[in-house]
Amino acid sequence: MSSIIVSLKRKQIAEFIEKEKRLDGRGLLDYREIVVEPGVIERAEGSARVLLGKTEVLAGVKIGIGKPYADTPNEGVLTVNAELVPLASPTFDPGPPKENAIELARVVDRGIRESKVLDFKKLCIIPSKKVLVVFVDVYVLNHDGNLIDASALAALAALLNTKMFNYEVEGDEVKIKSDLTQLPVRKHPIAVTFAKIGDKLIVDPWLEEEQIIDARLTVTTDDDGNICAMQKGGNGYFTPKEVLKAVKTAREKAKEIRKKLKW
């Protein structure tokens, strides 16, 4: 969008937020409606479609057998990738992932990895040789703001939906059996993204808000209220007070979301 329209919009949105209101009628700390639809892709070991307002994200899980990293020979591997699919927004271009998609994938990855959603030791088949590799691919299908929270929800929902193959080890061979078991998911990390407009903090910014914000802060917390990942973005700043306020609010919001989704 041209910078003139953005600066006009900025004035309007900022004036609303100053009065504790938002253009779409939400309160400053309200999420848009969240819809989670698990198991939408039969070919994937796990999948889920998440709607956050009009933002739509599809996540798919594939599981394969691969080599472990040299520094963690007894642990399985998690790979998170994100695609900003060009049909989702006029601002997305085809081609290899650029910095926004890479940041999105890495923030989602950190939330899952650091909260220890998966027991990586249990994903080891033969130490130093063969381990299970869990691929989580996040597909953004419609961009209407706050891709981080929607993608984190979709990735977790897809993992919760994942059924993986059983296997037998015979010497160095891994035999895949036909029956399936649920992939054990131990935690439910929820990413809560704040946007700063003037000196106000809002949660779940939608596209028009996202275009005019000074800075954003994502706080991912687990079921016990521990903080497991954070990421500041945008070319503005936060004061220490705002950071602590955001962390407290993120814990409450995450709890609400978990309750709503019965996770």
Partner 1 sequence: MSQKHEKLIDKKGLRLDGRKPEELRSVQIEVGILPNADGSAYIQQGKNKILAGVYGPRELHPKHLALPDRTVLRCRYHMAPFSVQERKSPAPSRREIELSKVIRESLEPSIFLEYYPRTGIDLFIEVLQADGGTRCASITAASLALADAGIPMQDLVAACAAGKIDDIVVLDLMDTEDKIGSADVPVALMPNLNAITLLQMDGILTFEEFEKAVNLALEGCRKIHAMQKEALKTKYVNVKEVEE
- Looking from the CA of 52 toward its CB, the CA atoms found within 13 Å total 30
The correct pick among 105, 153, 156, 157 for binding partner 1 (CB under 8 A) is 105
Helix (H) or strand (E) holding 259: helix 240-261
Chain residues 205-224 in contact with partner 1, contact rule CB under 8 A: 215, 217, 222
Which residues, at least 6 apart from 78, have a Cβ–Cβ distance to it below 8 Å?
109, 112, 113, 118, 120, 133, 134, 136
In the block, residue with structure tokens 């990293």: 69
232: contact with partner 1 by CB under 8 A: yes
Residue 41 near partner 1 by CB under 8 A: no
Number of residues that bind partner 1 (CB under 8 A): 40
Residues 151-170 that bind partner 1 (CB under 8 A): none
The terminus-to-terminus CA distance of the chain in angstroms comes to 38
Closer residue to partner 1, CB minimum distance, 54 or 67: 67
Which one, 79 or 142, has the nearer CB to partner 1? 79
**139 sits in which H/E element:** strand 130-142
- The binder of partner 1 chosen from 1, 102, 169, 180 (CB under 8 A): 102
Q: Does 235 bind partner 1 (CB under 8 A)?
A: yes
The yes or no reply on residue 71 touching partner 1 (CB under 8 A) is yes
Closest separation in Å from C-beta 114 to partner 1: 5
Nearer to partner 1, 45 or 210 (CB): 210
Q: How far apart are CA 136 and CA 134, in angstroms?
A: 6
Q: d(Cα 216, Cα 139) in Å, to the nearest integer?
A: 22
* DSSP structural state of residue 224: T
> Which positions touch partner 1 (CB under 8 A)?
3, 70-72, 97-99, 102-103, 105-106, 110, 113-116, 215, 217, 222, 225-240, 243-244, 247-248, 251
